[in-house]
Structure 1
Amino acid sequence: WLHKTTLVFVNTRRMAERAARHLGDILGKDAVAAHHGSLSKETRLDAEQRLKRGELKVLVATASLELGLDIGDVDLVCQLGSPRSIATFLQRAGRSGHAVGGVPKARLFPQSRDELVECAALLDCIRRGELDALRVLPAPLDVLAQQIVAETACREWHEDDLFALVRRAWPYAQLTHARFMEVLRMVSEGFTTRQGQRAGYVHRDAVNHLLRERKGARLTALTSGGTIPETGDYTVMLEPQADKIGTVNEDFAVESLAGDVFQLGNTSYRILKIEPGRVRVEDAQGAAPNIPFWLGEAPGRTDELSFGVSRLREEVGMVLALSCRDGAMALLTTTMGLALRKRFCRTFNFELQAAATEDAIVLSLSTS
C-alpha cells in the first residue's frame, strides 16, 4: 500500500455510512470504520484508537474528526465532494503529515460538474492565500440568557455588576442596558402556560436589584448550554446488552418497522422494537442494510468561496469568448478564401490554390 492510513472526509452522516459500506466491500469490513456525531462516544473512541494503532486502513468521517483529536499518523486525506469552505478543507488536509518535516497530503474528489468548478475555485483561492472571513455575531441574546442563568446559579449578583461583567466580553461591548434588562426579565419571569408559569430560572429582587438562582437553574445551566439546537433523535440500543450505539433521525425511526435492517457505524442492525425516543436492535450478522438519513446537515458555501467560484467562471468565460472570436475569424477567412478561389477559377478558367489563416488569405497562381 502506498498509504498505510487514509482519512476520508464527507459532508453528511449519510454519506459517511454509504462510503464506509462501499469501501468495506472492497477492502474488508475490519479495515474500514465510520466516525460521525450520531455514533456513541464509545464507538467513536474505538474507531479513533483502531486508527491510531494502525488496525484501520480507512476511516470515513464527518466534521466530528476535524479538531482536537489525537488519531496518530495519517498518510493521506481524501475529501469526497466539495467541503464548501476554504478553512474546512485546509483544516481537514492538515490532519495528514503530522510529523517533523511532514507535508500534508490531500485529494479532492468532486461528485458533479458544479462541484468540479467549486473545487477548482477552492484550490485557486488557496494558491492566492485567501481564507474565509471569521464573523462574530454582535451580542447574541440566546447566549446572553444562558450566561445570566449560569452566573446567578453560582452566586448572587447585583444587576449593574452583572451587566458590567457581560460588557467586558467583546461581542457584548455595545450591548445596551435596555436590551440587557429585556433578557433579564425573560429569564426571571419566564412564560405562562396552562400549567402555570414556566422557565423562570432567575429570582429578581426588584427593590434591591439583586439576582439569584431559582430551583432548577443550576441543572439547566449544566445540561442546556450551547447553541446547537435540539434534534429529537432516537437512541439506538443494542440488545441484549442494552448498549447505546448511536442515534438516528426521528423521521427515519418513525418510518421504519420491526425487522428492517439499517447500518450504523459500518455495522448492520435489525430493528426489534421501536419505542418513544428509542430503537431497540440486534446484530444483523452482515445482512444487506438500508442507510439511515438525517435532516438538515449539509453545509452551506462560504461567501469567500462563492466569490472564488464567480471569479473562476468569469475567467473561463473570457477565455472561451476569445477562443470563439478567434475561431469565428478563422472560419470567416477560410470561407472567403474558398469563395475567391472558386470565383477566380470560373472567371479566368484557371486552377489555383488557396489557403487561409486567422487573419490572412493566400492565393497561389502558379506552382512554377
Structure 2
Amino acid sequence: MIILHFTKTVFVIAMMARVTMSTPTRMSNADIYAVANFTDFNSEGFNHLMVHNVSGDVYIGGVNQLYRLNENLELVVNITTGPEYDDEDKTHDTFNKILACNYAGNDLITCGGYRGDCQIRHMEDLSETYSTDHPTYVAANMSDDSTIGFVAPHYHLGQQFLYVGTTSTSQNPGNPFVSGRQLEGDQVFEVFEDGNGNTRVDVTLPLTLIYSIRYVAGFNYNSYSYFVTIQQQPADSSSAYISKLVRVCQRAESNYFNSYTEVTLSCRDESYNLAQAAYITRPAQDLSQSLVLDDGEEVLFISFAVGVNNPPTPTTKSAICMYKMSDIERAFQDAVEGCMINDGPSV
C-alpha cells in the first residue's frame, strides 16, 4: 500500500500485481486502484503529509488548515490556523512549513505563518499545548522558500531536538541554514547554545543573497541528522545546480555543528540534478538479500528530475535512485578524511 500526496487530495493506492523479483513485468491500470481518498475542496492546498508510525493516522498540514485523518483517510479533526494578522492588520496565509511528530512526547510539531514560528500540539485534537508569547523564527516565512524539520535525539544532552533546514533569504536573514531547536526546558524552539558551542550553521548575510540552498527532505540515521538539498554550483560549472546530502552529528559534546559535512548526490548522470523527495527504509527480504545489507541497515530512495536552471525548475524527465546507507556513511567518512589530509574546510 502506498500513500500519494497531491495538491488538494490524498490517495491511498494499492498495487496488486503478483510478481517475483526475478520476473520483470509491466503493470496495467487494472493492477493499480485507489483504496481511499480524502479531498477538501475548500482548501487552498496541502503542504505536508505525515503518517503516525503506531496509530496509522494521517496528518496533513495545509494552507490555513491542519487535518487529522484515520488510516482509512476519514476526517477525524480539522482546525483552522490562518490567515494571520500582522502588526499593521494585514492578513497573511499560514503555509505549513514543518509537520513532525515527537514520539517521545506524543506531540505534533507544526511551524509556519508569516513569522515562521512553531507550536507543539496535542496529537488527538490538534490543540496547541505550547506556543511562544514572543515568536521564535524557525521556518522560512515566504511561501516559496524551503524548510524541512524532523525530530531526532541529541544524545549528549539526552533530549529530543527539532532539526531544521531553512532557506535563508533577505526576508529571513536571521535564520540559520541548519539548526537544532530545543523541545524541552525554558527555551523551547530556541537554538541550543552553551559555552562550548551551538547547534546552528550560519552563512553571512551577503552570501545568503547569492548562495541559495533548497531543503528537500531530512531524516535521522545512526546518530546523525541528514538533509537532502539542492545547491548552486560555481559559475564555471556545466550545471548551475546540484543535489547534495548534508550531515551533522547528534553525539558531539562540544562545538556541536562543527561536524557539518556535505557529499554530492549523483543519479544516473549529471543531468538528473534536482532531488525532489527522499525516503529511508528497510527494504523487503528479497531486496535486502540481493543488496547484502547488514542487520538493521536501511536504504535511501531519492527521486530526481532533470532541472532547468535559474531558478531550478524540475522537468518531466525523472528517475529514482537507491543508495545503501553504508555507502553513504563511507562517502562522508572519505569526505572528512579528505578535508583533514588537504587541510580544507569541512563544508
TM-score tier (shorter): under 0.3
Structure number with higher helix proportion: 1
Computing the radius of gyration from Cα coordinates, the structure with the larger value is: 1
Structure number with higher strand proportion: 2
Report the TM-score, using the length of structure 2 for normalisation: 0.21
